[in-house]
Chains A and B, each alone.
Chain A
Amino acid sequence: MEHTDSINDNLTTKKIIILGHPNTGKSNLFNVLTGDYSIVANYPLTTVEAQKATCTIQGQRFEVFDTPGLHSLYIHSEEELAIRDMLFTEKPDLLIQCIDANQIKQSLTLTADLLELDLPLIIVLTAVTEAKRKGMLVNIDSMAQTLDTPVIRFTSIKDRQIDKLSKAIIEAPKSKTCLTYGEAIENAINEIETSLPETTLGKRSISILLLEDDQTVEPLLTAHAPTVDSRKITTLRDSLSHTINASISRTIAKKQNQWVDYIFSTVVSQRDQKGSKILKQFAQACRHPIVGPPILIFFIALTYFAVVHVAGFVEGTISKTIVDPLVAQISHWLTIPWIEAFLVGDYGILTLGLFNAFCTVLPILSIFFLMFGMLEDIGYIPNLCVLTNRLFSKIGITGKSIMPLVLGFGCKTMATLTTRGLSSWKEKYIAIYLIAFAIPCSAQLGLNMAILGKTGIGAFIIAFSALILVEILAGALLNKLIKDDGQSDFIQELPPIRIPNLKAIVTKTYYRLLWFLKEAVPIFVIAAVVLFFLDKSGGLGILKSALHPIITNWLGLPIDMVDALILTMARHEAAAGLILKMVNAGDLTYIQSIVAVVITTMFVPCFANIVAMCKEVGLKTGLIMTLIINVSSFVLAGLLNWLLIALL
């Protein structure tokens, strides 16, 4: 497959949308097709917003869309609605459905829906070997024949399969559904179909959704067929439900289920389950009320050890053997004091900017992302929502909002965006607030571990217990304050535990670090420059003496912590790097380093997170939330300081 960017003007760009259930390898396929990289993980909700990239296959230019998980065209959440709307507005030329062979039956429901769209459909089957090991044999040829659509077995490694896929994409015959719902319903479908404009995409599909009285279909109707009389459809629906004397939705679902059963029994032969028993038992152990928590503690301890001892060692060595001599050498060469200060002083563009980013923060993040990537790849993280469900429900986090909160430990911005799947405002508010408040994102978590690791494991335990307590109290308080508006239900598919794939983890870590370098390093440098000039102009001094009562008297921190707080506003990692340096220099006591970590974790969520918050709850509410978070972080960190002084 070529990934050329040359545009052949004679050809129009065709659109491909990749669809499928959560965690079926859509992003993986997208990466292989386009040569772009979209984060892959062994759990649902990895892709939050549709990604777009282009590729050229046999001279034809394609625009490929990667989408978040979709269960069926009948919508359960706003997120799924966005995908469905995209289907009808983007008018793709081709659909690719990813199906995990282990869960083929679940995916067939979506296949039934997609076939009704009357578009070319290609089915890409992933994890075939894994399914085979588990005793599920999928007959790919018979699947292609029964569904009358190309079915391609796919693993990212084999080129031959990609050739097959390319061929299928180029040929892409229109697929036809063979699923009918009985005379009465079919007549009604035809009646609506004929009233829709000729150009409408997926007429049959829209007609069925209208008959099923999908609440979200109204806007779709006004957008695509303003001429259709919705009252007429209501009448049609009523008379139909009278004729068949049953709920239309249920009757359609029933026919679909029968179809799924038929396809499944034709295509799959099951043998006794073999192998993978250990992995299955491990998955059960991870979720178990008694065995589960020790496993969680083990993983945290393992990560802690890797970050503190391995990364700490690397970082220390680099700093001792390269950075320190280099800085000494540079200041030796430079004779003009202000240039020296500008490059390697306290707020030097090199010391606080580049060296901080590359030599302090980067080694820690590399190790941490490797560990985190491994946990993601084996599919461990969603199991946490099983362990914490009951605890969360006590603090107002129920149902669907558990998963975003758990995902907050990965990236707070992404987690905030996944809350759009929540239908209850209360749940959404609480989840967004808690994600922004005391949950450290993965980068922050890694760096916090490194900072506290220098002080001792006790400090780590105290700081994180404090953060967890803050989170629980905040949740409980919000739960009391905000009015109930109905709970959503908690139905969460859990990914199978898999043996980690080293190559995939390394690739993912590489891209994460690349993004860090691209996004964060310039900010490190800019922040250093800003601090340098603030310092030189005397502004920093004024600020420090103004903040003295709060920083020194209330929080008990050295006044230089103001620098770190300013850096926090730019980028949390930069602040953590500075604090790390202060700890290394012995500038912070035991209590001070705990308070410093707690306040920088809670203080100002990163800029991207604030933008995501405003996007989800509106500008005003988002800003108010940020303000409340900032004020309470000072209050709480101060309380912690005094509590620790009293206790220790």
Chain B
Amino acid sequence: MKKRDQDEYLEQLWYMKENGCSDIAVLKENVHLDYTDTMVDILKDKSFVNLSRESQTISLTEKGEVYARQVIRAHRLAERLISDVFGGDFETGAGEFEHTITPALVDGICTLLGHPRECPHGKRIPKGECCKRLATTAQTSVIPLSELTVGQSAKVSYVQCKSDQQMHRLHGLQIRPGVLVKLHQKYPTIVIECENMSIALDEEVASNIKVWTTDEIMTQQGSQKRGTGLFAGLGAKVRRRRRGR
């Protein structure tokens, strides 16, 4: 049995578990491949599932659950990557990938992937700056908005919302993946600028807004902003003093 097929079954079984369902008929209906009884038997042999033909039920064993969790994790992280990070539509997949991604981000991913030379189809991947340097740590990373430096701009990668309500509120203010935000001040309250509007946020909300930052952007904009921001220096002093305490 192919690993992919097995993953597909386990994935569906995980969804069923989430929905509190263990009906074989549901599994049959939802597996995207052609359903076969042998596949289920193989899973049972590997002790991934508890199967009962009499009551027509099937469910994950503890071992199966551990495995399925990994599959789901990978799947959903991939979705996150495409949808939130690249701002694309995860239904259309990676098609828009190359249009939305920044070079700094490409370098980060290239580094994470260990500077691959060939694409999955066997074609050559042109070398990037990071490959020449043989960088081993990605310079691009996702950090909470609250950890930006004052005056720094960054793109929102994703927002962890407490509730759908909060998501609608933030989206209404245009705080959403792909949007550029700028941190105006941290003390006494965090103030950001987003689409021409100043918004005050409490620490909790700000730390749940994750943004993309790259070292390069940080140094460039940091030096610029320190030059123009009238009160940036003062703020920095306050921060240092606070840290000192």
Contact = CB atoms under 8 A, between A and B. Distances in A.
A398 B202 contact: yes
Contact of A288 (B89, B167, B176, B234): B234
Contacts of A393: 202
Given A110-B172, A491-B201, A291 B196 contact: no
A180 to B, nearest CB: 14
A388 B200 contact: no
Nearest to B90: A246
Interface string B146-178: 000000000000000010111111111110100
A214 B229 CA distance: 42
A253 B158 CA distance: 13
B204 interface: yes
A490 interface: yes
Given A76-B165, A284-B184, A290-B234, A257 B171 contact: yes
B164 A76 contact: no
Interface stretch (A100-108, A454-462, A474-482): A100-108
A284 B174 contact: no
A71 B188 CA distance: 26
Contacts of B204: 489
B198 A493 contact: yes
B64 to A, nearest CB: 21
A266 B195 CA distance: 16
B188 A388 contact: yes
Q: Is the contact region of chain B dominated by helix, strand, or loop, or is it mixed?
A: mixed
Nearest to B15: A242
Nearest to A182: B91
A261 B166 CA distance: 20
Contacts of B235: 288-290
A61 interface: no
Given A281-B230, A491-B199, A76 B169 contact: yes
Contacts of A214: 164
Given A490-B205, A493-B197, A284 B171 contact: no
B123 to A, nearest CB: 31
Contacts of B89: 254
Interface string B78-113: 000001000001110000000000000000000000
Nearest to B238: A289
B165 A74 contact: yes
Given A491-B169, A493-B173, A399 B202 contact: yes
A489 B164 contact: no
Nearest to B208: A489
B35 interface: no
A72 interface: yes
B200 A494 contact: yes
Contact of B164 (A71, A213, A256, A389): A213
A202 interface: no
Contact of B168 (A72, A284, A496): A72
A57 interface: no
B191 interface: yes
A106 B164 contact: no
Interface in B20-43: none
Interface string A32-76: 000000000000000000000000000000000000000110111
B174 A105 contact: yes
A288 B171 contact: no
B185 interface: yes
A264 B67 CA distance: 45
Contacts of A212: 164
Interface residues of B, number: 41
Contact of B171 (A109, A387, A493): A109
B61 interface: no
B199 A76 contact: no
Given A72-B172, A389-B202, A493-B199, A289 B188 contact: yes
B165 A490 contact: no
A288 to B, nearest CB: 5
Interface string A116-146: 0000000000000000001010000000000
A76 B197 contact: no
Contacts of B164: 74, 212-214, 247, 249-250
Given A71-B169, A284-B230, A491 B205 contact: yes
A103 B202 CA distance: 22
Contacts of A291: 231, 234
B196 A103 contact: yes
A110 to B, nearest CB: 7
Given A106-B172, A250-B167, A386-B189, A490 B196 contact: no
Given A106-B174, A109-B171, A494-B191, A75 B238 contact: no
Contact of B202 (A72, A110, A242, A490): A490
A441 interface: no
A381 interface: no
Contacts of A75: 165
Contacts of A102: 196-197
Nearest to B176: A257
A518 B196 CA distance: 41
B132 to A, nearest CB: 34
Interface in A462-483: none
A105 B90 CA distance: 24
Interface in B197-245: 197-202, 204-205, 229-231, 234-235, 238
- Output the residue of A214, A260, A289 with the most chain B CB within 10 A: A289
A214 B163 CA distance: 11
Nearest to A247: B164
A385 interface: yes
A386 B200 contact: yes
A414 interface: no
Contacts of A496: 198
A249 B161 CA distance: 12
B197 A106 contact: yes
Nearest to A21: B172
Given A71-B172, A253-B171, A491-B169, A389 B230 contact: no
A492 B200 contact: yes
Nearest to A107: B172
Contacts of A109: 171-172, 174
Interface of B: 15, 19, 83, 89-91, 162, 164-174, 176, 184-185, 187-189, 191, 195-202, 204-205, 229-231, 234-235, 238
Give 3 nearest A-B pairs by CB, closest first: A490-B202, A389-B189, A71-B172
Given A109-B171, A109-B174, A399-B202, 8 more contacts: A71-B168, A110-B172, A136-B196, A253-B168, A288-B234, A492-B199, A494-B197, A494-B200
23 contacts: A21-B172, A72-B172, A103-B197, A106-B174, A110-B172, A136-B196, A215-B165, A242-B15, A249-B168, A250-B164, A253-B171, A284-B185, A284-B229, A284-B230, A287-B185, A287-B200, A288-B231, A290-B235, A291-B234, A386-B189, A491-B199, A492-B201, A494-B197
